[in-house]
Structure 1
């Protein structure tokens, strides 16, 4: 018995129609060869700004760099000082280095090495003054809780830099913690900007 063999009959398709069909298949996610197209995947996300964190004497300090402009070598260093116990406050950035009549220490952020301050250190919180027993002058402090400070930065080139952190926290009920002076946080500056060095 002879087997029948069916042959496909070619059908002419106008060029314009063929292109539109192929385009429609691609738009609906079907490849022209019948296979599924490769997944494009999500676009690469921008990395978070460099950050560092440490805790000492009742306060957690979180540092980050944002708004870095590589062409100018400038950006902003943000330092958030968060007392770990409710009812504690930090002292003003404008407090003298030795405090008021020896009481308190300023909230301080300075930089050395290939980074320099490009403006003054400012705090987001408004300061107020308190009267302390045995101290004749009012003492400027921030409200209880976290304080966010910002410092404009400028890089002089690539290399090492150090952020120096100082502060003291106090409570009108529980007294004060031991002041922290010039706590170092290491950084490395490259052509892409500054990044914190993992200890």
Structure 2
């Protein structure tokens, strides 16, 4: 769809104006108008280097300051897979990067990162050892988290996606997503 520069500007201003109150509420610990007290879990989404990542927090227990951080990694093209969370940080013989979710600040991991999909080994020309990957398509990971109190936290995301036919995308390492921890649980401040 082609818009004139003037139309694009108006759309941008309208969108930014509509989102500003939500951002202020979330940053201050509030909820957008119309959100149920026990509404959907807070979410954030971004796309980078051929993968869309969706983050959410569920099962938040305010009294304990615990919950589950879920990250869904969805390759944007068919035939792409992600590497195992257990892959070494520099890959196998320099190939691949692990799927990673870590937290800093007022959030800490309260257990290991796990994936819902089963790892399978693949062979890559020029690499002697097999590479542990997930089946092509989306991968859902979960990380139990614990808050040390209210305040700022950061979720750091890492991954690489590859296709046996089309090669690999540029790896993403320590991609930050800011979180504000409030009494009712973590709220994503910026995607």
If the length of structure 1 is used for normalisation, what is the TM-score? 0.77
2:113 to 118, 121, 136: 121
2:88 to 83, 89, 96: 96
Q: Which has the higher helix share?
A: 2
Alignment correspondent of 1:48 = 40
**Partners of 1:55 and 1:127 in 2: CA distance:** 23
Aligned-pair CA distance for 1:45: 6.5
Please give the secondary structure, in 2, of the residue aligned with 1:178.
Answer: coil
- 8 A Cα contact 2:177 2:190, kept in partner: no
Following TM superposition, the consecutive aligned residue runs of length 4 or more in structure 1 with deviations greater than 6 angstroms are none
Query: Deviation digits for residues 39-73 of structure 1, max 9, x if unmatched?
Result: xxxxx563110000000000000000000000000
State whether structure 2 residue 51 is matched by structure 1 residue 59.
yes
Please give the secondary structure, in 1, of the residue aligned with 2:155.
Answer: strand
Please give the secondary structure, in 2, of the residue aligned with 1:95.
Answer: coil
Alignment correspondent of 1:148 = 140
**Partners of 2:143 and 2:37 in 1: CA distance:** 26
**Partners of 1:198 and 1:182 in 2: CA distance:** 15
Q: Runs of 5+ in structure 2 lacking a partner?
A: 1-35
Q: Runs of 5+ in structure 1 lacking a partner?
A: 1-43
Aligned-pair CA distance for 1:193: 1.1
**Partners of 1:85 and 1:99 in 2: CA distance:** 22
Alignment correspondent of 2:161 = 169
Aligned-pair CA distance for 1:190: 1.1
Which one scores higher on RCO, CA 8 angstroms, separation ≥ 6? 2
State whether structure 2 residue 182 is matched by structure 1 residue 190.
yes
**Partners of 1:47 and 1:130 in 2: CA distance:** 41
Aligned-pair CA distance for 1:191: 1.4
**Partners of 1:80 and 1:61 in 2: CA distance:** 6
**Partners of 1:60 and 1:193 in 2: CA distance:** 24
